[in-house]
Structure 1
Amino acid sequence: MEKPCLRIGHRGAMGHLAENTMASIKKALEFGVDGIEIDVHKCASGELVVFHDFTLDRMTQASGEISKYTLSELKTFQVNGQFDIPTLEEVVTFIDRKCLLNIELKGRNTALETERIIKKHIDYHGWMYGDFIVSSFQHHELEHIFSLNSQVPLAVLTKANVDEAIGFAKTINAHAIHPNIAIVTRNNVKEAKDMGYKVNVWTANNKDTIVRMKDYNVDAIISDFPDRI
């Protein structure tokens, strides 16, 4: 009997509320998701902040690279004029192990602090390694995490080629492959799963795509509308 496909909220539940905000994360939890995916960047004062873009322009009233601002400066800006930019620490504390947390290392030099926060919450706050996935397109960031702590479950993001992702995944003992739905086929899902990898796909939002991904027997679907899965 096949295991049910996990429902993972993309940047919280960004189809309903502003991405990567506490409100969006709260909404995803209200939907009873199995997991939440977020993105992290390192800001100028060293903290990891939860934000997708490398620049502030699309989502806030400010302009410029997020890495050039301190946390105190970033806290003066608002996403969509309404929501604070959260830190990774705030998000992990808020989720409090209610679901899986997929941390995408979006920005540079994010591996070290991500591993520290994960380890802290495992050592002192009841989390387990299986409650986390760390994913990235940036191979060097995943390699850094692997060198720091080989127990952290890793996932290789790809929007180009599943076979290439598998090739890299072998070098870091990755747990999963995270392919874009545009490159997902029944055959490459089976190939990855036969090799022992979980296949968690993104971003499936319409019903037909969700049904097709389930038919391909993927392990998880990452969606802006996790309530549709």
Structure 2
Amino acid sequence: MLIFAHRGASKALPENTVDAFKLAFEEDADGIEFDTFQHPEGIIVFHDKTLNRTTNGRGFLLSTPLSELRQLDAGLGTRIPTLVETLATVPKGKWCNIEIKQLTDADSWVSEVRHTVASSGIEVEKLLISSFNHHWLKQIRELWPEVKIGALSASYSLQPCYDAHMLRAYSMHIALDVASPEYVQQALAEGFDVFVFTVDEIEDMQRLAAYGVTGIFTNVPDIARSIFK
């Protein structure tokens, strides 16, 4: 079972920061998951629309110049990273999952991500692109046919695999609350890898492993690795 560090090793260090990503790999995570906004000055790794929760700044991320964002404290003296800085933390052979929180222009987004991935040496085969906004994923699928798409969902749909089929997705990323054995088995049977978020309790990790899920997103990759060595 693959272990993805959710926003890095975010239980121990500030979420979506270079330090959290580095620690995740030190703790032997198979990959990292992180959130992105298409800022006018380049893709930024951040979760919220506003700066208030995780930094010492105030206001909206997208309306703040990059030069100002770079001065903010994202926790314990860390900084808000760019996509370039984030991908630079990924060792050879490891996975990364880019979750899209905001997208303005799919063409420029794909161009920037493809260039950054190639420059950083990330293996495209171990790159996942996910979002709750399936319209964005559809655009990316059309522009980047070979990339792996992860269809995110936090609800138990009447047709669980419908969107994943429409997107020609590689995987389904589902919330812990709806990860029943029936749901997981149906998705696997229909040809999708299954990843579950956000899984921090040992009992849940063991239960999901018994269901046969492909991987989990967790804030505590060290604990997950101690269970799945």
TM-score for the superposition, normalised by structure 2: 0.91
The residue aligned with 1:65 is 60
Q: Provide the aligned length of Structure 1 versus Structure 2.
A: 224
Offset, 1:54: 1.1
Say whether residues 1:86 and 2:81 are aligned partners.
yes
Moved more, 93-102 or 197-206: 93-102
Say whether residues 1:39 and 2:3 are aligned partners.
no
**8 Å contact kept, 1:109–1:141:** no
**8 Å contact kept, 1:51–1:85:** yes
The residue aligned with 1:20 is 16
Say whether residues 1:200 and 2:222 are aligned partners.
no
**8 Å contact kept, 2:35–2:47:** yes
Rounded Cα–Cα distance in structure 2 between residues aligned with 1:22 and 1:133: 19
* Code of the aligned partner of 1:17: L
Say whether residues 1:29 and 2:25 are aligned partners.
yes
* Code of the aligned partner of 1:153: K
The residue aligned with 1:149 is 144
Note the residue ranges of structure 2 that are not aligned, 5 or more in a row.
225-229
Q: CA RMSD in A?
A: 1.7
Rounded Cα–Cα distance in structure 2 between residues aligned with 1:98 and 1:72: 33
Note the residue ranges of structure 1 that are not aligned, 5 or more in a row.
none
* Code of the aligned partner of 1:86: P
* Code of the aligned partner of 2:20: S
Say whether residues 1:50 and 2:54 are aligned partners.
no
Question: Pairwise mapping of residues 109-148 of structure 1 onto structure 2 (< 5 A)?
Answer: 109=104, 111-121=106-116, 123-148=118-143
Rounded Cα–Cα distance in structure 1 between residues aligned with 2:199 and 2:28: 18
**8 Å contact kept, 2:160–2:187:** no
Give the share of equivalent positions with the same residue, in percent: 29
Runs of at least 4 residues off by over 6 Å: none
Rounded Cα–Cα distance in structure 2 between residues aligned with 1:149 and 1:94: 24
TM-score for the superposition, normalised by structure 1: 0.91
